[in-house]
Structure 1
Amino acid sequence: MTAFILVAGAYTGGWVWQELAARLRESGAEVHPATLTGLGDRRHLAGPGTDLETHIQDLVGLIDHVDTQDVVIAGHDYGIHPVLGAADRRPDRIGRIVHLDTGVPRDGEPALGLVPDQKLRELLLDEAEAAGADWRISVPAPEDWQRWGSTAGIPDDALARLTRLAAPHPRGALRQPLRLTGVTAQLPTTGVLCTKNGSSIAAIEAFAGLGDPRSKMLVERRVTFFELDTGHWPMLSAPDELATVLLKAAAGDGYRLAPAAGERPAHLRPFLLDVPKRPRERVGHLDLYLPEAEGPRPAVVFVHGGPVPAGVAPTPRDWPAFIGYGRYVASRGAVGVTLDHRLHDLTDFERAAEDVAAAVERVRADPRVDPDRVALWFFSAGGLISTDWIAAPPPWLRCVAVSYPVLAPLPNWGLADTRFRPVAALRTAGALPIVLTQVGRERAEIAATVQQFLTAAATHERNIEVIDVPEGLHGFETTEPTEETRRAAHDSVRSVLDHLMD
């Protein structure tokens, strides 16, 4: 028999697992929904000294009292921190750790670092440093649960119950660093990703494919993944589906990311077009591909997406897709510009936008560039950086292009209160031409942002040219060279250059 220990996130307790626990028990499993000190019906037991170590000890005690040897321990949201801490103390009792729509905290990281909403995280930090700060964090208002994760799929009565039964969370539990010896890195692990909260296997695969050392463990055979098409609270929105996934995880099932031996990552495969080589000049974080034409020429600045972890090599301007596009526009008479910016984490959009703005000014100051004829082309999550340019386009900006873009922050990115919202920027875009390349086989959470953008564009009567790639994938320039994708690359370059050359 498998014993499940279920550990909920901030403000909640064992009660949040009620429906899920019933379904697991019906399958014959033993189930222990944990309520940590200070939460649920144990809220009266907390005090100023209640911290992460308190919650780790809660779980260690629970593990010690479970007779079944095969223990699957699942942590949701904040709950993954005490789960990992307890598993580190009792590794011989743990058959599998389940990360339920949550990150992978490392030794020395506090739970506060994984709070998705940036402004909420800053607020909690400020409150904690203020003199006389309460040792508890107050319960979110009903409309604020979304800041902790997407509430998609939660029935109204369940959302009301979530608010009614929530307890103030001990502040020390979020601020105390997690301490790990490394033993949990060897335990079987499953990640359950909730797509309506912005997580997906495709996103994890793309991240792992970049070669970041932090993602090495994700491709090990002991690690599996599942997706649920729901928001951040699947125990409330999809208990049947979650029960099925947990039972499969306990049996060792799930998707594995292990790459084929010797296969190049998708972003390092050849560019889909055969384009002539052009001279490349490297200036700081910029590469300029120069045309044969004399005199100042128009320029296209290509802006990569991300996040791309710091230290990844090669950097985006040396990826085949950006080299290919830079050469292509240079062969057509424009200066192709690629750059590396500092979007290394979801908290880095501000400085990445600053990098792009500085790069554009440097390009316009180059005597080989016509400063009054510049286009900006954004890819993937770089689409969010297009916001300022769309909202207040300068007269020299002849066109903005976006390819398989993210055009509104995904729910778990913590950017809801920031300015990086191209959808909203359309209100003041005026007559700026926008070329949007969309792929038919896009991740659902990204496709939804593109649809929001097109709906807003229709509302505001904006000038959008859509290049459809019905069978295309995200990053199609190096993933699938077909007649359709080659035509899309040709058409998008032609359209951008038409706006520059007129």
Structure 2
Amino acid sequence: MTAFVLVSGTYTGGWVWREVAARLQESGAEVHSVTLTGMGDRRHLAGPGTDLETHVQDVVQLIDHVEAPDVVIVGHCYGIHPVLGAADRRPERISRIVYLNAGMPEDGDPALKSVTDQVVRDLLLKPEGGRGEAGDDWLLPSPAPDEWQRWGGVADLSADALERLTSLAAPQPRATLTQPLRLSGAVAGLPTTGVLCTANGASIALVESLVGFGDPRLQSLVDPRVTFFELDAGHWPMLSCPDELAAVLLRAAAGEGHRLTAKEDRPPAQPFPVDVPERPRERVGRVDLYLPDADEPRPAVVFVHGGPVPAGVEPTPRDWPAFLGYGRYAASLGAVGVTVDHRLHDLADYPTAAEDVAAAIELVRADPRVDGDRIALWFFSGGGPLSADWLAEPPGWLRCVAATYPVLAPLPGWGVVGPRFRPAVAVRTAGRLPIVLTRVGLEQPALAATVEEFVAAAEECQAAVEVIDAPLAHHGFETMDPPEHVRDAVQHAMRSVLGHLRG
């Protein structure tokens, strides 16, 4: 018999698994829905000393009392921290670890590291800013009904489920989120399954692309003992789709699921969709310039890559085939093509990346070969939020903003990332600044929703947005889709951008 140990995330308790546990038990499995100290109906046991170690011990004690030979342990969100801590101390008892819409914390990582919402981070780091009563600064107040989206997507929750989530929530002991996770390494060899919630911005395709970047921390994901599933759900699938989640957990316990392929086993990347000649390239710090054949200053297009891209990845984005292609393409048509390596390594790095982009623009505009009064900015993928600064207050020299398969509003799992990086809001003050948006037909649903939010906002304020549709294209199409599916869209977008620069 398989025993499932279900560990929930912040503010919740064992009650959150009620429907999932019933489905698993109907299949003949043994189920233990853990309520950690201070949570759920054990909230009265919380105290200033309740920390991550307390919750690790809760899970260890439960494992020690499970008689079933196979223990599948499931961690949702924050719950993966006590799950990993306990599995690291009892690896011989664990047959599989399931990461349910959870990060991949390493030794020394506190749960705070994965919190991207700045308001929540401020509450954790400055407890006096909380809503709690005097003397309970060691508690993080549970969210109000309209605050749950800071922790993840809630669009798929019914009104009753959201009310239940709010009414049964318990304040989270602050030290559970700030105390570092300690791992000996014993957990590293255990089979794992990731359950990704697509409405929360995660997908197998996204994980595959991150692995493809070469980040050494993610190379373990190509191990054949690692499997993946997707659920069309937000952050709380145990409330929104318990039947589907229970079915996935049973399949995970059986070792089923999608397996990733190693980088060397993948088909080679497609060539850039447009045949472009080699062009001279100059490298200045983080910036590369592709120069056209011209005697007078020429307009420039600054291409801003997406992310987050893990630090240390080689080659860096400006040496990826797509950006080599875009830089050469712009130069072949008489503009200076500019690529920049910015430091968007983590969701918390948008301010740093914005500084890098601003510095690159300043460098380019100061170059005597560039007409500093005719600049276009072109954003890709997760670089989309960096467009908000320029849309909110367009400078006179900015002649066009372009975006290709962009993220144009923070995804649910990101928290709010900060009010600054919200293009769907900033577009309302863009005036008549030309905006060229390339929209892909095979986009991930969560990313497509941000584009539609942006388009709706642009229509309301009558912004000058040109939408170019690529119906057969995927996110990151330049190196994965057949050129004939995307060539027209790339050429159309480039013609439009250069037209605005020359106009």
Establish whether TM, by shorter chain, passes 0.5.
yes
Whole-Å separation in 2 of the counterparts to 1:126 and 1:459? 39
Contact 2:293 2:334 in 1 (8 A): yes
- The range that moved more, 398-407 or 459-468, is 459-468
Q: Which deviations, in whole Å up to 9, do the C-alpha atoms of 1:353-373 show, x marking residues without a partner?
A: 111111111111110001111
Q: Is the counterpart of residue 457 in structure 1 residue 458 in structure 2?
A: yes
**CA apart distance, 1:261:** 4.1
Partner of 1:387 in structure 2? 388
**CA apart distance, 1:460:** 1.0
Partner of 2:87 in structure 1? 87
**CA apart distance, 1:161:** 1.7
**CA apart distance, 1:60:** 1.0
- The range that moved more, 108-117 or 351-360, is 108-117
Q: 1:141 to 1:179 in 2, by over 3 A?
A: same
Partner of 1:53 in structure 2? 53
1:56 maps to a residue whose letter is V
**CA apart distance, 1:128:** 7.7
**CA apart distance, 1:272:** 2.3
The aligned runs of 1:69-108 (5 Å cut-off) are 69-108=69-108
Whole-Å separation in 2 of the counterparts to 1:25 and 1:298? 66
Q: 1:260 to 1:108 in 2, by over 3 A?
A: closer
Whole-Å separation in 1 of the counterparts to 2:471 and 2:424? 22
Contact 2:273 2:484 in 1 (8 A): no
- The range that moved more, 401-410 or 129-138, is 129-138
Q: 1:405 to 1:265 in 2, by over 3 A?
A: farther
Percentage of matched positions with identical amino acids: 68
Out of 232, 236, 240, the residue aligned to residue 233 of structure 1 is: 236
Alignment gaps of 5+ in structure 2? none
Whole-Å separation in 2 of the counterparts to 1:158 and 1:370? 57
Alignment gaps of 5+ in structure 1? none
Contact 1:88 1:181 in 2 (8 A): yes
Q: Secondary structure at the match of 1:243?
A: helix
Q: Which deviations, in whole Å up to 9, do the C-alpha atoms of 1:307-347 show, x marking residues without a partner?
A: 11110011111111111111111111111111111111110
RMSD (CA atoms): 1.6
Partner of 1:281 in structure 2? 282
Partner of 2:412 in structure 1? 411
**CA apart distance, 1:415:** 2.6
Q: Secondary structure at the match of 1:300?
A: strand
Whole-Å separation in 2 of the counterparts to 1:207 and 1:346? 14
Whole-Å separation in 2 of the counterparts to 1:105 and 1:500? 46
**CA apart distance, 1:413:** 1.2
Q: Which deviations, in whole Å up to 9, do the C-alpha atoms of 1:168-188 show, x marking residues without a partner?
A: 222221121110011111101
Q: 1:160 to 1:262 in 2, by over 3 A?
A: closer
1:50 maps to a residue whose letter is T
Whole-Å separation in 2 of the counterparts to 1:366 and 1:343? 25
Q: 1:265 to 1:13 in 2, by over 3 A?
A: farther
Partner of 1:216 in structure 2? 219
Q: Secondary structure at the match of 1:348?
A: helix
Q: Is the counterpart of residue 123 in structure 1 residue 123 in structure 2?
A: yes
Whole-Å separation in 2 of the counterparts to 1:142 and 1:265? 47
Partner of 1:468 in structure 2? 469
**CA apart distance, 1:484:** 3.2
Contact 2:72 2:95 in 1 (8 A): yes
Partner of 2:292 in structure 1? 291
Q: Which deviations, in whole Å up to 9, do the C-alpha atoms of 1:376-396 show, x marking residues without a partner?
A: 111111111111111111111
Partner of 1:173 in structure 2? 176
Contact 2:149 2:415 in 1 (8 A): no
- The range that moved more, 122-131 or 14-23, is 122-131
Whole-Å separation in 2 of the counterparts to 1:416 and 1:142? 19
**CA apart distance, 1:119:** 2.5
Partner of 1:244 in structure 2? 247
